[in-house]
Amino acid sequence: MLDDAALPDDDDLEIRLGARLSTRAGRAAYLFYDEENGAGGAAVFTDGALTSRLCFDARDTQPVRRDMTEEIALVGLDPSDWIWVPASEAIEAAAAPLVGGGIRDDDDIAALIEAASATFLTRPAAPEPAAPAPDRARKRDRVKGMMRRWLKG
């Protein structure tokens, strides 16, 4: 969702998940900050719809800014700030209504996840198939047959 110029289709997993979470909670946000590779930003969903996206990406030779409608090449970036200041501002703007201010980079995002006591989700193991129920009609027929033979006896 934040990696490509075009927005994903409505049936994309990220879109469906964000829409469903925001339908239940009113608002949901994806926060992304990759310090090692030079990218960061956020996408916000409100009441089941993607309402904003802002990402700054310098992983290719030309840094870009992506929003809801376009991707724009960034020229003349201050080398001391590069993309970090605008990426951090985008993250904080998306996170603030949900969790308050101060979420600006990957360390802040990690601390937020840890504070929520989030853990990796695993699917529960499938239940063991139940043993087939004994065919009571067959057992009854065998018992009837044995009783008849014994009574004739």
pLDDT digits (tens, 9 = 90+) for 3-34: 899 999 999 999 999 999 999 999 999 999 99
pLDDT of residue 117: 81
DSSP 3: S
User: Nearest CA to 10 among 21, 2, 1?
Assistant: 1
What is residue 42's three-state secondary structure?
Answer: strand
Contacts 24+ apart (CB under 8 A), 71-78: 71/5
pLDDT of residue 137: 58
What is residue 78's three-state secondary structure?
Answer: coil
| Position 70, amino acid | E
In tens, the pLDDT along 104-145 reads 999 999 999 888 887 666 666 667 777 666 556 566 677 677
Please classify residue 33 by burial: count the beta carbons closer than 10 Å to its beta carbon, then call 0-12 exposed, 13-18 middle and 19+ buried: buried
SS (HEC) of 51-115: EEEEEEECCCCCCEEECCCCEEECCCCCCCCCCHHHHHHHHHHHHHHHHCCCCCCHHHHHHHHHH
In the chain, what are the domain boundaries? Answer: 13-115
Q: What global pTM score does this model have?
A: 0.73
